[in-house]
Amino acid sequence: MRHHDRTVDAFVESVRHREDVLGVVVTGSVAHGTERPDSDVDVQLVLTDEAFARAWQENRLSYVVRDVATYEGGYVDIKVAGPEFLRRAAAVADDPMRRSMLGARVAWSRLEDLAALVAAIPVLPEGVWEDRMASFIAQVRLHGGYFLAQAEKLGNTHLLHHAAAHTVSAGGRALLAHNRILFQGHKYLDGALASAERVPAGYARAAADLLERPGTATGAAYTSLLESFHAWPLPREQTLSTFVRDNELGWYSGAIPPEYR
């Protein structure tokens, strides 16, 4: 929408003369063309590496600017970055960060390669998707089987709901990986799965049943639906070891558990 474009232009004009600013990248709904009239404008403000280090130290990594907005109630939602930060994001960022840069566009830049840096962030090698499917299906099998059963046996309400939520979260993310879709956040998971091409029939109902009536019966129905849908790249005999490696031994490997990637 034109008033969003004018706001982007006004923000660029307000920062382009700063020596510590290298570029402005538009993200979010405005970049994707899905904005509402009252949507805010999301940007990555690319600073020099030195300025980004200062922003990190001063805990000024995200803030809002209102005075450049050209429409009532509008504002620019800013997250800061630096060239090295963007390079590391392309190598090791979690899914929400990668997803936030999908379709992003450079509004202004002093860096010749900024567009290429941004474009590299949402791209994952094929082998990573396979590893993710294995990690998430291991979580489905443990949370949807063992932990739900333990919760019922012990009468542990917290564990019951924790296991149900983690089963559905892991199953949803296994399906996203199967469809090569980046995870945007739990707020968007149902919508992403509803629009995915390869999802088992009745999935949404099975997931809702497990969340609404957590227990071994609904857990078995949910996990059975997933297991019968796809030949997941994880042999049964490697399930426990994979779960332990990914979720309990991160302190040793230095790897972030899959649900936070």
User: How does pLDDT run across 91-141, given as a tens digit for each residue?
Assistant: 999 999 999 999 999 999 999 999 999 999 999 988 899 999 999 999 999
Residue 190 pLDDT > 80: yes
Residues 6+ apart with CB under 8 A from 10: 68, 69, 70
What per-residue confidence (pLDDT) applies to 32? Answer: 87
Q: What's the mean pLDDT in 22-49?
A: 94
Residue 210: alpha-carbon gap to chain centroid: 23
What per-residue confidence (pLDDT) applies to 261? Answer: 85
What per-residue confidence (pLDDT) applies to 44? Answer: 97
Going by C-alpha positions, the residue among 169, 146, 175 that lies closest to residue 244 is: 146
What per-residue confidence (pLDDT) applies to 79? Answer: 97
CB burial readout 204-224, b (16+ within 10 A) else e: eebbebbeeebbbebbeebbe
Nearest 5 degrees, angle CA 119-CA 125-CA 127? Answer: 165
Band (232; pLDDT cuts 50, 70, 90):
very high
Residue 129 region by backbone torsions, left for phi larger than 0, else alpha for psi between -120 and 50, else beta: alpha
pTM score of the predicted model = 0.90
Q: Where are the alpha helices (DSSP H) in 107-199?
A: 114-120, 126-141, 148-154, 157-178, 189-195
Annotate 25-73 with three-state secondary structure: EEEHHHHHCCCCCCCCEEEEEEECHHHHHHHHHCCCCEEEECCCCCCCC
In angstroms, how far apart are the furthest CA atoms of the chain? 65
Residue 86 pLDDT > 80: yes
Average pLDDT over the chain, rounded to an integer: 96
Residue 260 pLDDT > 90: no
Residue 198 pLDDT > 90: yes
